Amino acid sequence: MNDFLAESSELAQGKERLRAQYRSKLPDRLADINDDWAKISVDGWNEEVARSIHNACHLLAGTGKTFGYSNVTKYARIVETKLTEEFDCDGGPSREHLDELGVAVNNLLVNGPIMDSGSDSNSPDAAADQAADTTATGRQRVGSKSEEQVRRVQPLSTLPIYIVEDDKTLADHIVMELALRGYDGRAVYDLADLEPQIRRSGVSPGAIVMDVAFPDAINGGIDVINKFRQDEVLKSLVVFISANGSFSTRLKIVRAGADAFFAKPIDVSGLIENWSLWLARRIPIRCAYWW
């Protein structure tokens, strides 16, 4: 039990470090978007600059709510969607569409940094909860929230679960949540690194959590899984995640043989609660059958 408590405390501290890291980097990310939009406002439409804004908003849309910034997710997704529509059209946006984009970017910059109520772990209420769960000697009281959480920690799978996501903060957050529940989560930030990492491990994956879109390939995750299927090397559970929940994207995901799909912002708890059910449907396969 003491080992579990120590592990839980370490993971909780790690999660808080990730949240703090996100909070500290958010102003700079928004400032970069502001600078890029200023270029477009002054010099006119520039698709390269617009794609820089699009990529930044793609990352923010997928992570904001997870770290307590629902407005970041909401308004970044609006900007991302509007830019995607413009990329699909020839000739660049009209003046009216540029004005609409300007309003969307302004909403993100002004309203995005507003943190959700109750999401700050350093708030007085959070501190009071922590104090209530601790005795004067600093030991956890029996029946506290933290101890109840620890009792649910059981090793459920020894097979590695690869989180293929270009947003390092989100990938690390999912890996940490998996570790808290006894899973071997492994973050892969670059799509091209997935196959080499699996080969080096010498162990067949228990599952792959795959983002759909990457900066250099809008359907890169789907393409990689399709290639694995065609080569008949993929025997693992596949779960797709994406900020794009359109019908066409979902159809491509189904055709790629996905076992599940989660829309961003991800309900990480809901995702992980299904692992034991999903993995129970799979028979562990030696690496020789995978590659």
Domains of the chain, residue spans:
2-111, 154-290
Residue 140 has pLDDT above 60, yes or no: no
| 150 — pLDDT class (breaks 50, 70, 90) | very low
Q: How many other C-beta atoms are found inside a 10 Å radius of the C-beta of residue 73? A: 22
Q: Structurally, what CATH architecture does the domain formed by 154-290 represent?
A: 3-Layer(aba) Sandwich (3.40)
| 163 — pLDDT class (breaks 50, 70, 90) | very high
How would you list the strands of the sheet with 237-242, edge to edge?
Answer: 184-188, 160-164, 207-211, 237-242, 260-263
Average pLDDT (81-99) is 88
| 1 — pLDDT class (breaks 50, 70, 90) | low
The reply to whether domains 2-111 and 154-290 share a CATH topology is no
**What's the CATH number for 2-111?**
1.20.120.160
Which residue type occupies 16? E
